[in-house]
A and B are shown apart, each in its own frame.
Chain A
Amino acid sequence: MQPEVMEKMTRVSAVSGRTMFCLLDAPANAISVCRDATQVVVAGRNIFKIFGLEDEGFVERLNLRVGRKPSLNFSCADVMWHQMEENLLATAATNGAVVTWNLARPCRNKQEQLFTEHKRTVNKVCFHPTEVNMLLSGSQDGFMKCFDLRKKESVSTFSGQSESVRDVQFSMKDYFTFAASFENGNVQLWDIRRPDRYERMFTAHTGPVFCCDWHPEDRGWLATGGRDKMVKVWDMSTTRVKEIYCVQTIASVARVKWRPERRHHLATCSMMVDHNIYVWDVRRPFIPFATFEEHKDVTTGIVWRNQHDPYFLLSGSKDSTLYQHMFKDASRPLERANPEGLSFGLFGDLAFAAKESLMNASPSVGEVGRKTYPGGDRRHPIFFFKKQDVTEQFAQVSSALSVFESDAGTDVNMDWFIKTAQSYLLSGKPFAELCEHNAQVAKRLNRPQESTTWTMLRIMFSEPGNPSLSTNHNLNKSGNLSLVNSFSMKEMSAALNERNKENRQDNLHSLETNLNNNDENEETEGSEGQAEYLFGDAELDDDEMYSMEHDNQAAPEPLQEKPDSPHVSGSEAESLCLTPMESFSLISVSQLLFSPHLPPSFFCPIVKEMLCHYAEQGDVQMAVSVLIVLGDRIRKEIDELMQEHWYMSYIDLLQRFQLWNVSNEVIKLSTCGAIICLNQASTSLHINCSNCKRPMSNKGWICDRCHQCASVCAVCHHVVKGLFVWCQGCSHGGHLEHMMEWLKQSKHCPAGCGHLCEYT
């Protein structure tokens, strides 16, 4: 990357060094560096030490934690080294004390002054950048206090109106100004001379603002970081505070520090979960400019070693280490970022973006249906070009986007999925009919394997000798025949279709109407919420009753089957072209024929294997559909979690294709607790009374407050429970059907308001 070279050339480093670290005895809460960048102080609950920065490493210079049983005044939440007076330090203690330390004191205890004016933990102390004796503190109790170190007490107190103060910072440029950030998301600007009222206040974040930092050069730029995981840069120089940059990070922001000599760079670290230190270019808020990944627990303090040197960063952490990071050793996420992108569209389209150089290098890869949007093509609306900025140290990458559109009918096309989902019947018919229907559907969509599977299932799980579609004897016959035929794969379905066509013509018709009915039911239910159609359950019961009834008649039939069995074994050869699983099930079918009293449960292991096979192939549709149709016959065999998993994936797919009705049906028919629950989450609708606009509190249709019926139909004057349609012009309305009828005959509003309503 070029910038690196550029940085080196612009400035010869004043201090040399390398990435290094030293172990501390305890977690650090804050660090601060002295003016000449040769020493750093580390403070924490159980540590308060000064380290010298040598070329070889950190050298412990002084332990300020003295005494046998150190007092809570040593338990530091924050520390700051004075930038003018090299012997002067201040700490904020968790018990509410503000302490100053003078390293020039001859005795071991360097404590100079102790202010115990705050009632709660002090979160932050800050020396004035140019005024030697001025110290500011911000505390949990909601007060900020300004101390003159020549006096024993604070000189002024600023009240944040009982909100805890998280950070206070003197402005670098304006002598009298300081900024304070609060736990409720506000930032206030104060004039040090006027403790009665803040100059300015604005809400910067939702939730606490943990930190703020003034830009070292740009007057009026303030960076703030909050629990809402954002870093924002505010411009205060204008009359209205303006947010000029915003960086979204992945965790709450604990500290923010502008990088010296780089106008748009700042470093952040987080309070929870994320241990890295990031350096951002605020103009490129999506990828950090550089990352330091050395720490193993959260970083609690960061500071640039020298105010005029952008290459050294010091950091302290909860993992009890103190690090010096060299900028040249930082990892650059951008270099690892992948400039290539690939995405599948829902309908099989493929979009592919790659570096332009790469795309041009291999023009030979000729594809069908390729549409290219090269970098220079401005027709496409999503393209825009960022002006190259010389000061910006980001590498420019430009990519070319290609979109491959799939031809209809290729493998990626998902039409079959939608059609199958829409036409499969999962309930509402006897088991055998469901299988038969679904087999037809699969066949029509040119999916012979699925079709055969359905046929097989029908044979396996129908009562032997009762595989019929109805009580009609003719149909019974054809059912049996199809059983024989099924082993000559190719002809089977066609033949079956031929034979059944006439017999089942009306039957199919009724199926279709039934399907339509179902759809209608679904719709009304979805919108109304109150209706209680239980068509699924009710008809399932029918199914069971049906098979129960016919148990008795079943006995004699299988005898007729037996003579056919030789054919079956003979035709096995043909079926070898199928998957192993299929042929396996064929064998078991032939066994059925020899011993007709095999219980359906005999097949369960095979069917289970088959379902798993389909699911692994990515066809959860088949797995779930079979699961639902077979219902109790197979459910116990398969692991609950596995079922749940299948259901979830299938429902997810259905919803992506916006097949809401189907997905709802699947949810209703599922037997997994977790799935059924899906339908019960967020199902309530809150209604407001149309007269008085207050919420309807009781369950009836009469409003508590104005004692009138809410939502009355303008035509029949009854309460509308369900779909309510109204005119957007005059806001009168009523039952959907009533309005339709009315507006066929009349152009005027049924309420008699004279409005010419339109119904489209």
Chain B
Amino acid sequence: MNGTANICNHCRNLIREKITEKGIKMSRHISTGPSSFIPENEILGTMPLSDSTVMFLDEDFSSRMDNLTQVMGLHPHYLQAFLRCHYYLLRMDGPLPLHYRHYIAIMAAARHQCSMLVSHHVQEFEQIGVCSEWLRGLEFCPQRLRKLNEINKILAHRPWLITKQHIKALVKTGEHSWSLAELVHAVVLLTHFHALASFVFGSGVNPDPESTEVNGVTADLCPPAIPGLCTCHLTNSNQANGNSNTGSELEALMERMQRLLVEREDDDASEEEMFTRFEKEKKESLLVVSAGFAEEVVPPSPMIRFVDDPSFGYQDFARHGEDNPPTFKAQDYSWEDHGFSLVNRLYSDIGHLLDDKFRTACDLTYYNMASHEGVDTSMLRRALFNYVHCMYGIRYDDYDYGEVNQLLERSLKVYIKTVTCYPERTTRRMYESYWHQFRHSEKVHVNLLLMEARMQAELLYALRAITHYMT
């Protein structure tokens, strides 16, 4: 196990208070290896990368593998689809100028206080070498970009609230208006980086050492991380190692999958039943809260300068006693039929790349579950994907949400909810508290699914709003 780790938010708050009280200057700590959740030796040396992937790496990371790529490299097949898309979004021909793209990336990542992504793109932005005064904060960038804040925050935290009015406000003719093509590019960038922030926090990717020592602007963007002070980490690493009663956990899960497969044949649940199952799952997702963060105050991090209205955070889709927004019916607006066509029409070729990425993430399987081989994991994968969509209020008519309940244990649900809805609160304890017997690469696989599901959910809401605007 790694000696040091991410500290939980609670501890971080404590430490922050300490710092502010006493003015202690803490040295920046970088735990070794690409991820603070995953031991270094798990990641290194497991990367038979294809030539074309290496080529993209060359482009994108100046022939250095950054931590994010290394962690994602546990799934080389996916990594390739990811990098191709990532590269296309940031470097290739597109409606937006290059520095806009990086700035939008910064804005998106800052919503989740993801210092790693923010500092990386601040660096990239500086390399382009224009408009560097924008890096001083949102008030220094043009009005046009600032107008993007509204949909940035909505997409990041409550995508179901986006309406065609938001799109109209951006697109209507005026001095600072966006063209539809530019807007689509921006939306794809925003969702891509929101989801990427989820992945970064979800797998505990460490900041790249190089990225922190650039210059004034970047250095202060990295939050103070303190080594060895986190008590909860100490307790939970014990738990992870020494728990013996979890041995049956895997078998139980496999058994449940098997049973579901059989039951499915003669399950004649009525429609109301199905409907209530979805509602139940939706409602239950409310209760799945990582305790203790109810009244979290947004920390005065240096990234705040890229954030507008920082108090706007995640709120549950379905809340008791309120008029909930209508459920999004996946059959009425799906990625394959509708989203793709719209995106590809306005920003050519990105549709194919995204399509490829979604497909790769969803179809990726090694037919393994922990120590078992030759397992069909499609049911589990679909449960993960649909659970994320369920939390965002997207419902599939042809899915029995009872399966989610059977397959995903509570600790996993907590993890999923945290990673997708407020990834900045993810802790190592959450990461370790589910699926004790599974390999780290399998947990990264879970993260990939969560990331793609989240991105697709955000995209669907945004694209539906754009479609409504256009018709």
A residues adjacent to B (C-beta < 8 A): 45, 69-73, 75, 77, 93-96, 116, 118-121, 140, 183, 207-208, 210, 227, 251-252, 271-273, 275, 296-298, 641, 672-674, 676-677, 680-682, 684, 686, 694-695, 697-699
Contact = CB atoms under 8 A, between A and B. Distances in A.
A121 B272 contact: no
A69 B63 contact: no
A120 B398 CA distance: 5
Contacts of B268: 116
A202 B338 CA distance: 25
B295 interface: no
A695 B51 contact: yes
Contacts of A673: 97, 99, 128, 130-131
B59 interface: yes
Contacts of B470: 273
Given A45-B331, A273-B341, A73 B271 contact: yes
A121 B337 CA distance: 14
B154 interface: no
B380 interface: no
Given A140-B398, A682-B91, A94 B331 contact: yes
Contact of A273 (B100, B342, B352): B342
| Cβ-closest 8 pairs across A and B | A71-B271, A673-B130, A94-B397, A272-B341, A674-B97, A95-B397, A677-B98, A72-B271
Which residue among A77, A118, A227, A672 has the maximum number of chain B CB atoms within 10 Å of its CB? A227
B338 A271 contact: yes
A681 B92 CA distance: 6
A684 B59 contact: yes
B128 to A, nearest CB: 6
21 contacts: A71-B272, A72-B397, A118-B398, A121-B331, A207-B340, A208-B337, A252-B337, A272-B345, A272-B467, A273-B341, A273-B467, A297-B471, A674-B100, A676-B128, A677-B128, A677-B130, A681-B93, A694-B51, A695-B55, A697-B55, A699-B63
Contacts of A77: 331
Given A69-B272, A95-B274, A680 B128 contact: yes
B398 A698 contact: no
Interface string B323-347: 0000001011000111011100100
B264 interface: yes
Given A273-B470, A275-B471, A686-B55, 10 more contacts: A70-B271, A93-B397, A95-B398, A116-B268, A227-B340, A271-B341, A296-B471, A677-B99, A684-B59, A697-B55
A207 B271 CA distance: 33
Contact of B92 (A210, A227, A672, A682): A682
B198 to A, nearest CB: 27
Contacts of B131: 673
A560 B329 CA distance: 84
Nearest to B271: A71
A78 B1 CA distance: 55
Given A72-B271, A673-B99, A682-B92, A94 B398 contact: yes
Interface in B108-154: 128-131
Contacts of B337: 208, 210, 227, 252, 271-272
B244 interface: no
Contacts of B332: 45
Interface of B: 51, 54-55, 58-59, 63, 91-93, 97-100, 128-131, 175, 264, 268, 270-272, 274-275, 329, 331-332, 336-338, 340-342, 345, 352, 355, 397-398, 467, 470-471
A119 B336 contact: no
Nearest to A644: B97
Given A227-B340, A271-B341, A275-B471, A680 B271 contact: no
Contacts of B331: 45, 75, 77, 94, 121
Contacts of A271: 337-338, 341
A94 B274 CA distance: 13
Contacts of B175: 641
Contacts of A686: 55, 58
Contacts of A273: 341-342, 345, 467, 470-471
Nearest to B97: A674
Contacts of B54: 695, 697
A140 B397 CA distance: 12
Nearest to A673: B130
Which residue among A94, A297, A684 has the maximum number of chain B CB atoms within 10 Å of its CB? A94
A673 B271 CA distance: 57
A95 B275 CA distance: 11
A208 B398 CA distance: 20
B295 to A, nearest CB: 40
Contacts of B51: 694-695
B341 A121 contact: no
Given A94-B331, A121-B398, A272 B274 contact: no
Contacts of B467: 272-273
A425 B337 CA distance: 54
A681 B98 contact: yes
Contacts of A699: 63
Contacts of A641: 175
Nearest to A93: B397
Contact of A227 (B99, B100, B341, B397): B341
Contacts of A71: 270-272
A272 B344 CA distance: 11
Nearest to A229: B341
A118 B397 CA distance: 12
Contacts of A694: 51
A270 to B, nearest CB: 8
B321 to A, nearest CB: 22
A116 B266 CA distance: 9
Contacts of B59: 684
A677 B125 CA distance: 11
A677 B97 contact: yes
Given A681-B91, A695-B55, A676 B397 contact: no
Nearest to B470: A273
Contacts of A69: 271-272
Nearest to A69: B272
Nearest to A272: B341
A95 B271 contact: yes
Contacts of A140: 398
Contacts of B352: 207
A682 B59 CA distance: 10
Contacts of A207: 340, 352, 355
Contact of A676 (B130, B270, B272): B130
A676 B100 CA distance: 13
A119 B398 contact: yes
B63 A680 contact: no
Contacts of B397: 72, 75, 93-96, 121
B92 A697 contact: no
B19 to A, nearest CB: 37
Contacts of A272: 337-338, 341-342, 345, 467
Contacts of A251: 341, 345
A698 B268 CA distance: 60
A121 B92 CA distance: 37
Nearest to A208: B336
A210 B337 CA distance: 9
B337 to A, nearest CB: 6
B92 A72 contact: no
A680 B97 CA distance: 10
A697 B58 contact: yes
A45 B397 CA distance: 10
A641 B91 CA distance: 22
Contacts of B99: 673-674, 677
A672 B130 CA distance: 8
Contacts of A210: 337
A677 B94 CA distance: 12
A694 B467 CA distance: 45
A697 B338 contact: no
Contacts of B341: 227, 251-252, 271-273
A45 B270 contact: no
